[in-house]
Structure 1
Amino acid sequence: MGLTTYLERAQTGVWDVPAAFLPQAYFEAVTRAGGIAVLLPPQPVSPEIASRVLQGLDGLIITGGKDLDPARYGQEAHPATDEPRRDRDAWEDELLRQAIDHDLPFLGICRGAQVLNVALGGSLHQHLPDVIGHTTYQAGGGIFNRVTVEVEVESRLQVMLGGRPEPLAVPVYHHQSIDRIAEGLVVSARTSDGVIQAVELPTVAFGVAVQWHPEEAPEDIRLFEGLVDAARNYRKARA
């Protein structure tokens, strides 16, 4: 299972250098679900390179992190928007495009949902408090709030969660969200204020993205189990 990583300045011992890293919660969730984690740091990319990388994988997770460059969806940056990580934007965009072309199972998490929507032609709300008037979705200080999402009946997401049409409490840490949804995507979860919290791509065997952080809910790894199951099926079909 390939997981994209951050590329940020990091300190360890006497070293203070740019480094690729990923919070442990992500790959712990993958291993607990029965998968094997492979980290994919941002690097120069082309369709050929991304395709070659994915040939060695059975599934892909586009992880959370800094805001996507708003130039990718035709907007000027909001004052609250992060400085762009254009290398990571390009890397994850191409990985997702090739995953879709190869029908490779994928899961987007937080930023990953936004990358998917923008890659397919959608746009983002750059600062949700301007839209909904509160900061519930990003408390700050690294604190994950819990919000309740309503999952669409008969969606792939609902199937992964056991098929019960019950509200789901999820950990969130985002100040942006999907605005105009890309053609081909369908919404599979929202909060009561209308903020999109999950989307799916029905034209592939498994293409799901959530705005929340399932890796921060270790008591519930159903999304990771669903992805790992899809990855096993992909590997069997390819063999």
Structure 2
Amino acid sequence: MSEFPDWSRQLSSGIRFDWGLAGVRALGPQSTAVVVVDVLSFTTAVSVAADAGTLVLPYRWRDGNAAGFAAEQYAELAVGRKAMSEQQPWSLSPAALRRATAPARLVLPSPNGSAISAAVTGIPVIAACLRNASAVADWIAGQGWGTERKPVAVIAAGEHWPSSDVMRPAIEDWLGAAAIITALAERATGPLSSEASAAKASYDGIDDVRSLIHNCASGRELAAIGFGDDVAIATEIETSKAVPVLVDGAFTNAS
């Protein structure tokens, strides 16, 4: 018997929404595709890398084998924001990725978005954010997905409280997921689940998404440690045409 009962799966809807690892485990098995949204910063970083032609390999956070995995994959390794050097100028920071020379392949560890991406098997995983919401929605609609027969699950990654495994719902991921859902609804996909409808309504009712994200907890956190540029890049709304889809373990631009 599944650990997730039918009432939790948002059945009979074409666009579904939930949070984190538990959400993707609940919705993923009945979905045609999963859209992962981690605005600060995994999926924004993936979009920036995809714009530059880099293939991104998601990987577990703080895994001692990351360097060995990168070598096996003939890829460069992204390090922590504060561990960057001339030899390893790549990190989860979108601003750092934009400044650095774009590698052909990059292993990008992340505690949230990459873990969720890796938890999905057998169906496409798409990395989405505020930068590429419409491009992702165009691509999904073009596949004929997002219907009751071929549902799409949109998963907001969320954050974790310091020194805890407890998930912190993150407003930037809620709004990023809502942007995807809104764009999908505009392309006549659906019906939306109640959860997806609530996300769309919140996005429709916000006048200044950029300001809200700059001033939310995650935005303030990055600014406080000197990475406010990452928040600025994350709020470059609808500037990217990249559609990063996980293919053979690497996010590859499908657009």
After TM superposition, is the score higher than 0.5?
Answer: no
TM-score (norm 2): 0.29
By relative contact order (CA 8 Å, sep 6+), the higher-ranking structure is 2
TM-score (norm 1): 0.30
